[in-house]
Structures are given as C-alpha cells and as structure tokens.
Amino acid sequence: MLSKNQIKLIKSLSQKKSRQQNGLFSVEGIKGISEFLKSDYILRHLYTTESVFDASADLTSEISEVELRKISTLKNPNTALAIFEIPDEIPFQRNGLIVALDDVRDPGNLGTIIRLCDWYGIKNLVCSLNTVDCYNSKVVQATMGSLTRVNVQYLELKDYLESSKAEVFGTLLAGENIYTATLPNEGIIILGNEANGISEAIKSRVDRKVTIPQFGTIKETESLNVANATAILLSEFRRRTIET
C-alpha cells in the first residue's frame, strides 16, 4: 500500500516549487511512461496497476486503481504513474533551426510545440524564464514522450538572442508572407505569448518579421493559436529545405 508520505510527495509534484526542490516530475499512462523508460531519464519509481513495463522490480510497485486515483492528476487515470528525476540541462549547439518561446503560458500549447519540434526534427527549444515549466504534468502528458527527444532550456531570452549570431525570425501580424518568403536552413524562430504576442524587448532583436496570411473573407480572427502557428512555420521552413 502507498504510504501517506508517498501520496503527499507524488501529489506535491503538481507544483513547480516541489518539482524543483525534489528534482522530480511525474509521467502518466502507458505510452508516455514507455517513452521515458527507453530514454536517458532516470526512473525513481513506477506505480502501476498492471505488469506491462520493462522496469526494475525494485523500482516498481503494483497498486490498486483506487490508489492510482489518489496520486493521479488525471480525471481518468491510465494504468500507471512514474516518477523520474529532472536531468541537468544539456548545453545545446547553436546551429540548425531553433524554436524560441517568449512567455508561452499554456501547458497544452507548450506540450504540443515540443511534440511538433520532435516531428520536424528540431532538437533545441529555448524558453524564456516565464514560459510554463516543461515538467508540468499537463505539458508532459501533451508531449506524448517527445520531451525525451527535444532539449528544452530556460534562460533570459533577450541575452540569448543578443549573444547569438543566427538570423532571428519573429512571428508577427505584419511581416513577410511565410508562403512566399525565402527561408534558410538555419535560424531562430520566435513565437510569443498567447494573449500579447512577442514582447517589445524581444521584438527589438528580430531580424526578419514573418506572418501567416489570413485567407478568410471576413477577417475578424485576431490571431492563430501559438501551437497551430508553430506547426505552419516549421512545415514551411522544412519544406524549403526539401526543395533546395
């Protein structure tokens, strides 16, 4: 049976402060846990209602569905919950195509963007310090395991852009049409906050402004969802790579 201290610790990991203090985060569901188990992430403990994982017996506890519901963050828990160690940040190479997020706050958006980076072969994702934590349980869930293959780093975004020699692309309402612009194989693509877009401080570091044109007859939609915009931008950048 799970002890009160175990339940308290696991549930506390829903808070960023606790994740940072303990150096731990949780992953739920068979698919997500399986992806992390075959990665370099270190398993601290696995709690499961079924014996479906290839994990050390010493690090595995079989629990009841009632117990799983006590520790899960989901309305409908799926088979298992695992606790992994948060790894040290890995320095990333500054070449290639890099995605940078300026104050993206929604966990679902960040999780989807990490998954898109994985799909389009973006190895490095740079996040401002105010961007939602990538080890937030909702972010982890939305990545469907892609977090194991994308290097996410949090830093002072303005300082990073000032120190970089790469061409910086900013996604703004007024800019070059992304469908007709000449796009390179390398650079930094900045996407901004869901409500306010790219901040003025970061906007001043943009070399090229690009926009996704609106085709509707009644153009009243203010903007695209940031994750949808990421999908379109990465598709266009990668398509040009294939064509060149």
- Write out the H or E segment, with its range, that includes residue 44: strand 43-48
Is 31:144 a contact under the CB 8 Å cutoff? yes
Whether 240 shows a pLDDT value over 60: the answer reads yes
Instruction: Count CB atoms within 10 A of the CB of residue 242.
Output: 6
* Ordered DSSP codes for 47-84: EESS------GGGEEE--HHHHHHH-SSSS--SEEEEE
Residue where the block lists tokens 């852009």: 161
**How far is residue 37 CA from its own chain's centroid?**
18
Report the pLDDT value the prediction gives residue 131, as an integer from 0 to 100: 98
Report the pLDDT value the prediction gives residue 1, as an integer from 0 to 100: 78
The helix/strand/coil state of 176 is strand
pLDDT band at 206 (very low <50, low <70, confident <90, very high): very high
Q: What is the mean pLDDT of residues 89-104?
A: 90
Report the pLDDT value the prediction gives residue 221, as an integer from 0 to 100: 64
pLDDT band at 244 (very low <50, low <70, confident <90, very high): low
Ordered structural domains, the chain, with CATH: 4-85 (3.30.1330.30), 97-243 (3.40.1280.10)
Instruction: Between 224 and 83, name the one with better pLDDT.
Output: 83
Whether 189 shows a pLDDT value over 70: the answer reads yes
Report the pLDDT value the prediction gives residue 243, as an integer from 0 to 100: 62
Is 158:199 a contact under the CB 8 Å cutoff? no
Model confidence, pTM: 0.94
pLDDT in tens, 113-159: 999 999 999 999 999 999 999 999 999 999 999 999 999 999 999 99
pLDDT in tens, 49-88: 999 998 999 999 999 999 999 999 999 999 999 999 999 9
Whether 219 shows a pLDDT value over 90: the answer reads no
CA atoms within 13 A of residue 155's CA, in its CB half-sphere: 18
The helix/strand/coil state of 121 is coil
Report the pLDDT value the prediction gives residue 92, as an integer from 0 to 100: 78
Residue 239: partners with Cβ closer than 8 Å, 6 or more residues away: none
